[in-house]
Amino acid sequence: IETRPDAGRERRKGAPEVIFGETKETAQIIAMAHGLLAGTGRAIISRLRTDSLEEVKAAFQGYTVRTRDAARAMVIYGPEFVPNNTGGHVGVISAGTSDIPVAEEAAVIVEEMGCRVTCIYDVGVAGLHRLVTPLRDLFADNVDAIIVAAGMDGALPSVVAGLAPVPVIGLPTSIGYGMGGKGVAALLSMLQTCAPGLSVVNIDNGVGAGITAALIANRVAQARERQSQ
């Protein structure tokens, strides 16, 4: 079966192609990973089903393989791959414990795009006192963009966007049951935010949030670099 992984995306967009593992057969995933390794020296896979994980690992035994378990993510590096370090800095915040896997998916992507990541987890609005100090530290540490992952009421991104002097990306998670559950209320609340400077991606789309935040941070970092030369 024919697939056309977009190896040129990295050069064109400054963002890597990511293989979405959930709805693909293991054989397809392996074939696409080979394609990307040949083209760019690295293959990133998200939402790897547990039944694919070991098979994919086995298929790339000669390679350096890094997994981020909570996020069900895997990165395979070819022998010549040289990680770059852009100097960008992204904050990743989660409202609850259950939002951590999606936050981690975003963090993996941000790192693979060469940024430094600071994570602050389980600081939701039910006890806002937990948020104050780590957030102040993050601002002081010259962060370029902040991702806020939240399910249920989705209130935390609005609170952070009311305070932060940088762009905030709302990342709703599918946590929550009943009416507005599975992330629906969280997403809608973020779309309806009365705080300025909050844009959103879809429910559980850690990859999308990570790419957007890293694109911002890398462009800022590039401006810093270019001038400092």
Ligand X SMILES: Nc1ncnc2c1ncn2[C@@H]1O[C@H](COP(=O)(O)O)[C@@H](O)[C@H]1O
Site for its own copies in 169-228 (CB under 8 A): 169, 172, 174-181, 183-205, 207-209, 211-212, 215-216, 219-221, 223-224, 226-228
Report the partner that residue 103 touches, choosing among ligand X, Mg ion, its own copies, none (CB closer than 5 to 8 A by kind). none
Task: By CB under 8 A, tell whether 28 contacts its own copies.
Answer: yes
Task: By CB under 6 A, tell whether 97 contacts ligand X.
Answer: yes
Report the partner that residue 125 touches, choosing among its own copies, ligand X, Mg ion, none (CB closer than 5 to 8 A by kind). its own copies
Contact with its own copies (CB under 8 A) among 35, 39, 91, 96: 96
Interface region with its own copies, contact rule CB under 8 A, candidates 21-29, 38-46, 49-57, 73-81: 21-29
- DSSP assignment letter at 164: -
List Cβ neighbours of 193 (8 Å cut-off, separation of 6 or more). 157, 158, 161, 170
Give the residue from 200, 168, 174, 169 showing the smallest Cα distance to 96. 174
- Alpha helices, H only, 60-205: 100-112, 132-140, 156-161, 184-191
Q: Interface residues for ligand X in 35-54 (CB under 6 A)?
A: 46-47
Q: How far is the CB of 211 from its own copies (least distance, A)?
A: 5
Q: How far is the CB of 7 from its own copies (least distance, A)?
A: 10
Task: By CB under 6 A, tell whether 179 contacts ligand X.
Answer: no
Q: Do the Cβ atoms of 46 and 23 come closer than 8 Å? A: no
Q: Interface residues for ligand X in 184-213 (CB under 6 A)?
A: 194, 196, 205, 207-208
Q: Interface residues for Mg ion in 114-153 (CB under 5 A)?
A: 122
Nearer to ligand X, 24 or 116 (CB): 24
Q: Which residue's structure tokens are 């789309």?
A: 205
Contact with Mg ion (CB under 5 A) among 16, 39, 88, 96: 96
Task: Using DSSP, state whether 198 is helix, strand or coil.
Answer: strand
CB atoms < 10 A from the CB of 170, how many? Answer: 27
d(CA 161, CA 158): 5
Q: Do the Cβ atoms of 74 and 135 come closer than 8 Å? A: no
Interface region with ligand X, contact rule CB under 6 A, candidates 33-41, 51-59, 91-99, 155-163: 91-99
d(CA 110, CA 219): 13
d(CA 218, CA 85): 10
Residue span 30-49 as binding mask against its own copies, x where in contact by CB under 8 A, dash where not:
--x-----------------
Task: Using DSSP, state whether 32 is helix, strand or coil.
Answer: helix
Question: Which residues make up the interface to ligand X (CB under 6 A)?
Answer: 17-20, 46-47, 96-98, 122, 126, 194, 196, 205, 207-208
